[in-house]
Structure 1
């Protein structure tokens, strides 16, 4: 019994020591507004740290760019916010599943 319990505990500790595999999600942001987006934030829908994805590189209206979410999370579903050059912002009401969608279009 003692050997079995020791093996069970060792297996449990090994499972805890394994790193959690984080998702790296890539998608194309398509800006179909007339305004430049200066920040694009993504926050896991179930809570977590907000990540700014444009990295101080604006995205002009009519352009698109591939972005990557590498926030250390295993989340697929995110809440997003676009901030425009005039400091106005747009919070997307629906949560976006970036595991299922490889393009997100922001339009007027």
Structure 2
């Protein structure tokens, strides 16, 4: 499996602080679109705004993937996902159960 971001950037991708009682959510993020993924946001579905860009200073090229871990201390499984691409396009997906999600793929 291919990975584009260096290990240090990947480790910092979702560097949230989590209390010991919260379960971390993990899934594979795949870019099968035709453009670089330059912005990636994950927010609890109950939130009215997007969290910070988790790819700040990096990108995920087409055909590449990266492991994502959300350790934000929340007890919810339901999140919204947003992707921004180098060609100016955006994709949003709402109400995803990240506790059961093994992989999320952006496509055209």
Scaled by the length of structure 2, what TM-score is found? 0.70
Q: Is the CA contact (8 Å cut-off) linking 1:37 and 1:58 kept in structure 2?
A: yes
Tell me what 1:36 maps to.
36
1:63 aligns with 2:64: yes
Residue ranges of structure 1 left out of the alignment (5+ in a row): 1-18
Q: Is the CA contact (8 Å cut-off) linking 1:24 and 1:70 kept in structure 2?
A: yes
Count how many residue pairs are aligned between Structure 1 and Structure 2: 89
Query: Larger RCO: Structure 1 or Structure 2 (Cα < 8 Å, ≥ 6 residues apart)?
Result: 2
Measured against aligned partners, the alpha-carbon deviations of 1:25-83 in whole angstroms (never above 9, x if no partner) come to 11101111011001110010122772433343200011111111122211211111001
Q: Work out the CA distance in 1 between the residues paired with 2:72 and 2:55.
A: 14
Runs of 4+ in 1 over 3 A off after TM superposition: none
Which has the larger displacement, 98-107 or 42-51? Answer: 42-51
Residue ranges of structure 2 left out of the alignment (5+ in a row): 1-18
Would you tell me which structure has more helix in proportion to its own residues?
1
In terms of Rg, which structure is larger? Answer: 1
Q: CA RMSD in A?
A: 2.1
Tell me what 1:91 maps to.
92
Scaled by the length of structure 1, what TM-score is found? 0.70
Q: Work out the CA distance in 1 between the residues paired with 2:52 and 2:24.
A: 13
Q: Is the CA contact (8 Å cut-off) linking 1:76 and 1:99 kept in structure 2?
A: yes
